[in-house]
Amino acid sequence: VPADGSHWLGMQEVLDSLRQKGHEVVVVAPEVTLHIKPSKNFVMKMYSVPFTQKELEKAFQAFFHGSFEEGWGLKRFLKMYTGMKTLTDCWVTSCEQLLQNKELIRYLEESKF
C-alpha cells in the first residue's frame, strides 16, 4: 500500500521488477491520487474517499507554492504548514476509508495480502 507522491514514483520500479520476476503484484490505492494510476504491470484495488481530485491537487499546490514562496519567514512557514496539514488530512482520511472498507479488507484477508 504505497503512499502517493515521491514514495510511489520510487515504488513503481520495485513493482515492475517484481512483476518481471513472475510475482503477482496488487496495489491498494484510493480512487483519488496524485500519481498512482492503473497499469498492466499490477492488479489495482481501489477504494473511494470523500474528497475530489481537484481538492487533492489544490491542497498539494498550496503546500508546494507555500514551500517556494518568497517573503517573510513566518508567513511562508504558516502557508507551508497549512498546506501540509491539508495534505496530511487527506492522507489520514484516505487511510481511515481503507480501514472502513469492509469488502476490500475482506478481500485482503482472504488473499493473505
Give the 3-state DSSP-derived string for the chain, with helices as H, strands as E and coil as C: CCCCCHHHHHHHHHHHHHHHCCCCCEEEEECCCCCCCCECCEEEEEECCCCCHHHHHHHHHHHHHHHHCCCCHHHHHHHHHHHHHHHHHHHHHHHHHHHHCHHHHHHHHHCCC
- Count CB atoms within 10 A of the CB of residue 97: 17
Give dist(CA 28, CA 51) in Å, integer: 17
pLDDT tens per residue, range 66-87:
667 777 778 778 877 888 888 8
pTM, to two decimals: 0.78
Rg over CA atoms, the chain: 17
pLDDT tens per residue, range 24-68:
999 999 999 988 988 888 999 999 999 999 999 888 887 777 667
